Homo-oligomer: A and B are copies of this chain.
Amino acid sequence: MQPLHHIISTREYSREMLDEILDMAEKLEPIARGEKTTKIMDGKLLALLFFEPSTRTRMSFETAMLRLGGQIINMGSVEASSIAKGESLADTIRVVSRYADAVVLRHPREGAALMASEFSSSPIINGGDGAGHHPTQTLLDLYTIRRESRLDHLNIALAGDLKYGRTVHSLCYALSRYGAQINLVSPRELELPKRIVDDLKARDIKVHIAHSMEDVIEEVDVLYMTRIQKERFPDPAEFNRVSNSMRITEELIEGCKPNLKIMHPLPRVNEISPAVDKTEHAAYFKQAFYGVPVRMAILCKVLGVDL
């Protein structure tokens, strides 16, 4: 196995590379579930540098590393660190990357992970860089689709904020490696940027643009929901109208395929009615869990640990 030096974006990953990571994640699932234990990361140290709040990404990386037998050091919040004294990100990276064997970086600034990789003595894993990339989210989304539905001949709807949501942008490119049909459901104000639609079409992906959930709900295998943020709308009334029309309720999914799986990167606010949680369609909590085996696979790749 060839180690990946840094994990900045999955944009250029081939289908073979994606499959290799998903295969590793599947092998690691029993360890992620605590059904098997291992020490393959014994003596390895992972540093967490989160310049923004996070629960799922941070805690699932911690879970992944600890269940593999490794250890964690955590910068903690920006307020608890020397960053408050005016240290540059480059200097922080230079120091912390000398302590640990790999560094997970979350930062509000687009491009921060790529920049960090230039100053780092150990591999950087991008844990989300603002409007930029969040490669481990994309990989866990793919993994969830493979585990709960299917990656080949997939018919998927991406719904919600398709304009600003980095999660759906990256997922589109990854799905394009598998030839999916992609339905884009959003308010007109929040459509997927035209350059991404063009990129998908150039890759022979069938793209269907819709503005109502009802238009697509009966056909799709997977419905990937994302949050619409109030701040995107100058008029609160307009936000309310739009967010209500994009909500997933029991009524909406009445005519859906029996195997429909609903996904969401979480946290949700009210995009999905709690009544949906108890149905077989709800895959969003499993999706959050799948972050653990997928991040385990990423850690193994980055640290050059064979399974």
**A interface residues (Cβ-Cβ under 8 A, vs B):** 34, 37, 42-45, 47, 50, 53-56, 59-60, 62-63, 66-67, 71, 73, 75-77, 79-87, 90-92, 94-96, 98-101, 266-269, 274, 285-286, 288-289, 292
Contacts and interface: CB of A to CB of B under 8 A. Distances in A.
A76 B268 CA distance: 20
A82 B85 CA distance: 25
Given A66-B73, A73-B59, A266-B91, A98 B288 contact: yes
A274 to B, nearest CB: 8
Contact of A288 (B34, B95, B289): B95
- Of the listed residues A75, A95, A266, A269, the one surrounded by the most CB atoms of chain B closer than 10 A to its CB is A95
A186 to B, nearest CB: 20
Given A85-B267, A267-B87, A55 B77 contact: no
Contacts of A56: 82, 95
Query: Taking the full assembly, how many copies of this chain does it contain?
Result: 3
Nearest to A290: B98
A213 B183 CA distance: 66
A159 B81 CA distance: 25
Given A34-B43, A267-B86, A62 B53 contact: no
A268 to B, nearest CB: 7
Nearest to A60: B99
A54 B73 CA distance: 13
Given A75-B59, A79-B77, A43 B53 contact: no
- Of the listed residues A53, A54, A83, A86, the one surrounded by the most CB atoms of chain B closer than 10 A to its CB is A53
A34 B96 CA distance: 14
